[in-house]
Structure formats: structure tokens, C-alpha cells
Amino acid sequence: MAEGGLNLPPRAPTFAPGDVLHWPPERFRYDMREADTRERVNRMEVADRHRDLVWGPPMVLPAGRWRATVRLAFDRWSCRHKYCFEFRAAQKHVKHEFTPGREGVFEFIAEHSWEKLATAEVRVRMIESSLGGLFEFQGAKVELCPDPIHPS
């Protein structure tokens, strides 16, 4: 055997339609500007230029139609800016651009399909510059959707 062993492709656990993966805020990566001044790493001041605010966690998932739901909170200043939520896998992504328009907690949903094993992740980015406001990422869930052609 060659030194270093076999280099096997990643394996994904098996899932049944309706199975849900809960991804808490601690599993994600964040824009770390002024992170040392934050009470929680997932609650941040958005003043500055456009940028990725949160992304991850990269996870290998099997082929199928998947639904990702993110939960985001905006204060009265951050809700005025434009954001983008992306669900990525298989070198493609589904994106939803939005401006919350009011303060509060919102859930955004995106569905994405791929035909073979792929690394998936979610991403939230601010797509315009901001003079201020607080944004909080409250986690995500990813669910394998039922097959509409072959329901179980």
C-alpha cells in the first residue's frame, strides 16, 4: 500500500425524506470584524462595506432535493439594508435577495437539488454598505424533501 493510505471520497450519512438537520449558530463561521467587542459572535454590528456575514457549516449530503431555512434577526437600522441568503451545493447555489424593511426575526427558505453527493452550506451576505445596525444569525435547519415522483 502506498504511504498515506487510501484517499477515499467523502461519505454522507443516509437520510430519509423529512429528516431534519439542525445547525446551531456555533457551527458557523462569521465575519470577525470587532468580534472581541461582541456579546455573542453571531450578533454583530453591520456598519461597513458589503461582505459575507455568516457561512457554513460545510457538510457532505447525498443527492436529492433539500430545503434550508435560516433564522435571522434585524434591528431598526440593519433592517433597511439589502442582504442575500444562499444555499450552496454541487458548485451551484440558490439565492434570495431581500431587504427586511422592519425590525424583527425572520425565517428565509431556499430549496436546492443535486444529483450526486455534494458539500452543502448556507451563506448570508450583506450586499450593500451600511452605516450601522445589529444583525443576529439564530441558526439554520436543512431538510431532505420528499420525492414528488416517488412519495414514501
* CB contact at 8 A, 55 and 126: no
Residue-wise over 86-102: b if at least 16 C-beta within 10 A, else e?
bbbbbeebeeeeeebee
What confidence tens digit (pLDDT) does each residue in 14-61 have? Answer: 888 888 999 999 999 999 887 788 788 889 999 999 999 999 999 999
Residue range 52-100, pLDDT digits in tens: 999 999 999 999 999 999 999 999 999 999 999 999 997 888 999 999 9
**Between the CA atoms of 92, 98, 103 and 104, what dihedral angle is there, to the nearest 10 degrees?**
-40
The DSSP string of 131-144 is S--EEEEEEEEEEE
Output the pTM of the full model: 0.84
Spatial distance between the Cα atoms of 135 and 152, rounded to a whole number of angstroms: 39
DSSP 130: B
- Burial letters for 13-47: b for 16+ Cβ neighbours within 10 Å, e otherwise? eebeeeeebebebeebebbeeeeeeeeebbbbbbe
Is residue 61 within 8 A of residue 89, CB to CB? The reply is: yes
Q: Choose between 91 and 109: higher pLDDT.
A: 109
